[in-house]
Amino acid sequence: QPHSHNSNAMKFYLIDTNVIKFSSLIIGRRVIWLSIKSFIGALVPTNWKESVIIVARSITSFFILTTLLCIASFFVLYHPLVTNLYLVYPMSMYFFLFGLAGEPFLELFPKHPTSKALNGLLKENYLPTSPESIRADVIMFKADYSMKRKQALFNSIISAYYSAYVPCCFTPRSLHYDIEWVGRHVFLVWLGLLSLYTFR
C-alpha cells in the first residue's frame, strides 16, 4: 500500500479506558473544585463561606482520592506491579513537596498566609523604613516565590506526566511506539505547561 497512513495513525482504541479516567480525574480535579467553590460562593452567606469552603474542600478531596483508588484497583488486577508504580510515583512527589496539606491538591495557587500579607502590603503602597521590617518583607517575598515556584513545577510535571506519558505506559505490549518521540513530546508539553503556570 504505497499511500497507506496506517503506520502513522493514532490508535486511540488501544488506550485503556481506566487510564483515561484516571488521568482525566487527576488533571481535571481543579475544574471540579472550582465548580463547587463557585456554587458555594453564589449560595452561601459571606460569614459562613470560609467554613463551608474548608468542609467542601475536605469532602471533595476525599471523593476524588476515593475515586482514584477505585480506578487504580483495576490496574492492580490487569497490569504488573512496576507499571502500577507509574501511576503513584508523581503523587509521592506531592507529599515530598507539600506534606499532608490538602489545599495545594485542589487549588492552583492556594492562599498562603504570606500571599495574603503581600497582597495587603502591595495594595497599601507600603514602604518599610526599618531594617527589621525590610528583612521580614524579604522573607515573605521569598516564601511566596518559593511556594508559587513549587506549585508551578509540580502542576506542570503532573499534567505533562498524566496527559502525555501515562497513556503510553499502559498500551498493549504488542504495540510499538518510539520512546524518543514520547520523551520529546512529554518535554514539550511540560515546557508549555510550565510557561503557562509561571506567567499566570
Structural domain count, the chain: 1
pLDDT the model gives residue 150: 86
List C-alpha distances in Å: 117 to 59, 83, 113, 143, 199.
Answer: 28, 44, 6, 11, 21
Nearest alpha-carbon partner for 160 in 182, 191, 190:
190
Residue 118, pLDDT above cutoff 70: no
Domain-located, residue 63: yes
pTM of the entire structure? 0.75
Rounded mean pLDDT of 145-170? Answer: 87
pLDDT the model gives residue 63: 94
What type of residue sits at position 142? K
pLDDT the model gives residue 35: 93
**Of 6-15, 16-25, 115-124, which has the strongest mean pLDDT?**
16-25
Domain-located, residue 7: no
pLDDT the model gives residue 114: 55
Give the residue, 35 or 16, on which the prediction is more confident: 35
Residue 1, pLDDT above cutoff 90: no
Q: Provide the domain limits for residue 156.
A: 15-199
E strand or H helix that includes residue 196:
helix 179-198
Residue 11 grid cell: 490508535
pLDDT the model gives residue 138: 82
Residue 160, pLDDT above cutoff 70: yes
Rounded mean pLDDT of 87-116? Answer: 74
Residue 197, pLDDT above cutoff 70: yes
Rounded mean pLDDT of 22-30? Answer: 90
Q: What is the pLDDT of residues 48-74, one digit of tens each?
A: 888 999 899 999 999 999 999 999 888
Nearest alpha-carbon partner for 35 in 21, 11, 56, 49:
56
Rounded mean pLDDT of 30-42? Answer: 91
